[in-house]
Chains A and B, each alone.
Chain A
Amino acid sequence: MRAFDKTPLAIVVATTLLLVGFFVFPAWLSLMVVTIIAKALVVVGVVVLMRSGLVSFGQGLYYCIGGYAVSLGEQVLQITDIFVLLALAMAAGLVAGSILGLLMSRYREIFFAMFSLALSMILYGILSRTQSLGSTDGLNIVQPTLFGIKLATQQAKLLIYFTTCVLAALVTYAVHRYIRSPLGYASMAVRDNEIRVEYLGLAPKKVFYSNYVIASVVAALGGAITALNYGHVQPDMAYWSQSGEFIFIALMGGTSHVAAAFLGSAVFETIRTYALELAPDAWRVILGGVLIAIICFLPKGLWSLTQFGKRSGSSDWDRVVDEKDST
């Protein structure tokens, strides 16, 4: 029997602390929090996919779609309401994800990774070639409104911050529940052995498909928040190195719990920005070194540090992608 699930409580506490934090944090920190959460949302999708054994090297595709949906929603459809924009971005992610998912759910392992990379690079190529969409210089995004009310800069910041935190909490809870649903457990099973799962009467394709769509929607949401936060979108959002960064964060955090994505993202962003500030000539060494060190010494990611002393093995909490399969 499973013990009392502490996750919802933890989410509520963490969200409340973050919301209060806005009034305490210096401005740059609030913005960094939004950046961290936006990226973490994409990583949540990466983690969902990883739990079924799929690693997407092209999550930037949906990140970019989300960002451009916001920008085009503003410029073409004249929408400025933050909630409509975010909904539009998620809808765009949903549509693209459900179409491409039909194709992508046929692929496994490194081929899934490379095919997803190819798709996102094609989007990058198309956007870079389209001058009406700002080419590689990208598009700017004006401040969002709330129910038709124009906001002062500081109010808009507050709105984006609060919306981000609350949405992240909802997504985290929803994905947490999903992971613990029968379909979520089936992900672990197909990762271990797809054929056996098929023999048991489950449809692995359905599992992959639903994971893929979920990952697309949250990635689009992350992209939309990034767009609102930076006020700018660029085709670089779909470039392979951006997608690589998401996997980097996912492995740093670990895949055993949804919240690990947020931990990973926070640590990554902090290291990156301070490495850039303190060692402008050697930030790559630092970032690369930390990544290798984490993989060597914390194979289950940073999240395993929070699990210190807990019983391991019997629950799914400690399962990670790099455990060896049994044949």
Chain B
Amino acid sequence: MSFLLSILIDGLIYASWLFIVSAGLTLIYGVMRVLNMAHGSFYAIGAYTAASLVGWYFNHDELPAFGSFAVMALGAIAVGFVAGLVTERGVLRFLRGRDEVVMVLVTFGLLLVYEDLIKFIWGVQSYYASQPYSLLGSTDIGEINFVNYDLAMIGVAGVVAAVLWWSLNRTRQGKLLRAVINDRENAVALGINVNRLFMATFAIGAGLGALAGGLSAPAIAVNPGLGVEVIVLAFAVVVTGGLGSVEGALIGAVLIGLARAAAVNLWPEAELFVIYGVMACVLAFRPRGLFVLDSARKI
């Protein structure tokens, strides 16, 4: 029993991380039809920002330790938001309406460029921001000890999901976004300012990616190449769940998170391909992922 419970908790922790990483990705895809590989760069930028800020924060002993969470998360979101804004205004704006695959390649180019820019800014040495990770202590569940910071990630993911759901369904701007997601042509015909919406969506999505990076920074060494490792995982999640759907990303993340935790505990050899295995299985039965966006049938 406690065995299954610990798999469940591990799976949910991993799933929360996956969901925060992929929420921005799926949002951007849903609205803009851009499968953004540079999302990995925003993740890395967030991680570096958080690591730098935490390092700075803990050099000031007079500041309360718990404030580091806010500094870390808000700093990452802010820098990611700005990076997203610059990317959208500087490059993507000029490539609207291009084929989806072309956009994947454009953002792949951006990923390469960002990779070197990050190296210019932060160098190649590792950054650590470990203080916040141990701040919350740990809890014994069954016979296994879990870090409260990780457990809190489940809550954070829940909050991100709730905020996204609320803003998409209960606010005016969100309803406009959903109109664009569901039927872009009609939305434009009704006079929705797509230009502004795209800009905002991309910046928010990038901010979410950076938040994910910022939140993982305390548990890792922030190194070059961080973004590249993350992006394919995020792809697997959003494709499994159904591209462009926030609910899909949530379900996809839970599915993959649980599958990976189960594999690690029961069949460690499978760890390397279980994620792609889940994705392949889901696609084999549901060729467009679990939650399919409506698309107009072309006749």
Contact = CB atoms under 8 A, between A and B. Distances in A.
B117 A285 contact: yes
A284 B116 CA distance: 6
Contact of B299 (A125, A129, A195): A195
Contact of B280 (A109, A119, A251, A324): A119
Interface in B277-291: 277, 279-280, 283-284, 287-289
A118 B280 contact: yes
B112 interface: yes
B109 A196 contact: no
Contact of A118 (B110, B236, B288): B236
Contact of A195 (B98, B102, B297): B297
B152 interface: no
Interface residues of A, number: 50
A248 B110 CA distance: 13
A109 B100 contact: yes
A327 interface: yes
Given A129-B269, A195-B299, A291 B108 contact: yes
Nearest to A112: B287
Given A111-B239, A248-B105, A321 B280 contact: no
Nearest to A120: B276
A292 interface: yes
A179 B219 CA distance: 53
B279 A107 contact: no
Task: Kindly name the residue among B97, B109, B243 whose own CB sees the greatest number of chain A CB atoms within 10 A.
Answer: B109
Given A115-B283, A324-B97, A195 B298 contact: yes
A189 interface: no
Contacts of B115: 284
Given A110-B243, A324-B97, A295 B113 contact: no
A114 interface: yes
Classify chain B: how many residues form its interface, as a range.
Answer: 35 or more
Contacts of B95: 295-296
Given A115-B280, A118-B236, A240-B232, A126 B273 contact: yes
B113 A284 contact: yes
Contacts of A289: 109, 113
B62 interface: no
Judged by DSSP, the binding face of A is helix
B298 A111 contact: no
Nearest to A103: B284
B75 to A, nearest CB: 25
A283 B113 CA distance: 9
A180 interface: no
A128 interface: yes
Given A121-B232, A125-B276, A285-B112, A292 B239 contact: no
A247 interface: yes
Given A115-B283, A288-B110, A110 B100 contact: yes
A258 B273 CA distance: 34
B35 A248 contact: no
Nearest to A113: B101
Contacts of B100: 109-110
Contacts of B89: none
A241 B98 CA distance: 22
A106 B113 contact: no
B140 interface: no
Nearest to B105: A251
Contacts of A126: 273
Counting from the closest, the 8 A-B pairs by CB-CB distance are A125-B273, A288-B112, A125-B272, A291-B109, A322-B99, A288-B109, A288-B113, A284-B112
Interface of B: 35, 91, 94-95, 97-102, 104-106, 108-113, 115-117, 119, 228, 232, 235-236, 239, 243, 269, 272-273, 276-277, 279-280, 283-284, 287-289, 296-299
Interface of A: 50, 55, 103, 106-111, 113-115, 117-119, 121-122, 124-126, 128-129, 193-196, 240-241, 244, 247-248, 251, 281-285, 287-289, 291-292, 295-296, 299, 321-322, 324-325, 327
21 contacts: A50-B101, A110-B243, A111-B287, A114-B235, A115-B279, A117-B235, A117-B276, A119-B280, A125-B272, A129-B269, A193-B299, A194-B298, A241-B228, A247-B105, A284-B113, A287-B112, A288-B110, A292-B91, A292-B110, A321-B101, A321-B102
